[in-house]
Copies of this chain bind each other. A is one copy, B any other.
């Protein structure tokens, strides 16, 4: 199959030509072809699909809130509609047995996944349970526990060999260094998050292989000029990645994002969503930033705002629930607007960097011969025209 475009973004810059896809892989870009199966996108822009490394749930599916077999399946089906061609299914901080159940379900989906099922789960991100109660954010305090090699081993086992790609933890907790070293030896990336660490803690664990920060600014000790904390370390250490969850402006003001963007550049920022699939709550859940309680209501979800407004939505209807949280694509559009990011900048933050960060850049993250044919087609206002996962065109309407 060939996708024609005047603007195909590759690591060498934009190219015009026919992107050849065969057996789910990118074969190369050709200037002339004599073939039947050509899709002509004319001046549509072809870029790598987004990789979301922080994804608890989206639209009609939620691993975190409703961790059953349908959850990841529905997430994959819906994520392609917002440009995400692969992601890390992300657990929250729950009882270890609950986590193991979620990981086993995810593993089964990974093993049986095929490109017709939508976005690819390329692994798991464990957000906790080794996080600091003091900065738990929306995680459950009773399940925030001290780092343990044994628990880590059992979680890795439930997830299946090689499936855990990233763990978020608080490096100031007892035994954290041992767990970090253990994960590093297994080739698993570690991010700092939900943490009261001091700047000096970060300097120490950086040398143990910790690569970056989870939802920078949120769930961490803030910045002070005599006590720089996690935020100061994220600003200071140029070689560490800062993950930023959806840029709505609600959790992190655009100007605060812009400051870190100027410090680190698109080279060391990773865009994620940290979406939870809020429509899938199983019990009433109060969102303190949105000032709204989400309550299950039969096959619907009821939203009750602090100001008295109420909304009822069919939780299985994508069109009804898709705007509850800002999508990956919506977040990208905000970043484009707020820091005047170019296509190159976005591809770095949304595809290349996340692939490098979790060690999958040898087969995902850019349009290069030999890599998976995970691409999206957009217009020049970042509207999604088409999504391909391993060369399979997805149903995005």
Contacts and interface: CB of A to CB of B under 8 A. Distances in A.
Interface of A: 199, 217-218, 222-226, 228, 231-232, 235-236, 251-253, 255-256, 258-259, 262-263
A367 to B, nearest CB: 32
Contact of A253 (B228, B231, B251, B258): B228
A259 B263 contact: yes
A236 B255 contact: yes
A256 B232 CA distance: 7
Contact of A225 (B199, B226, B236, B256): B256
Q: How many copies does the complex hold?
A: 2
A232 B255 contact: yes
21 contacts: A217-B225, A218-B225, A222-B224, A222-B225, A223-B223, A223-B231, A225-B231, A225-B251, A225-B252, A225-B253, A225-B256, A226-B251, A228-B253, A228-B256, A232-B255, A232-B256, A236-B255, A236-B258, A259-B263, A262-B263, A263-B263
A294 B258 CA distance: 44
A59 B373 CA distance: 70
Given A217-B225, A222-B223, A225-B251, 12 more contacts: A199-B255, A222-B225, A225-B231, A226-B251, A226-B253, A228-B256, A232-B256, A235-B259, A236-B255, A236-B258, A236-B259, A259-B263
A217 B224 CA distance: 8
Contacts of A256: 225-226, 228, 232
B251 A232 contact: no
- A-B complex: 8 closest residue pairs judged by Cβ atoms: A217-B225, A225-B256, A223-B223, A225-B252, A235-B259, A236-B255, A226-B253, A228-B255
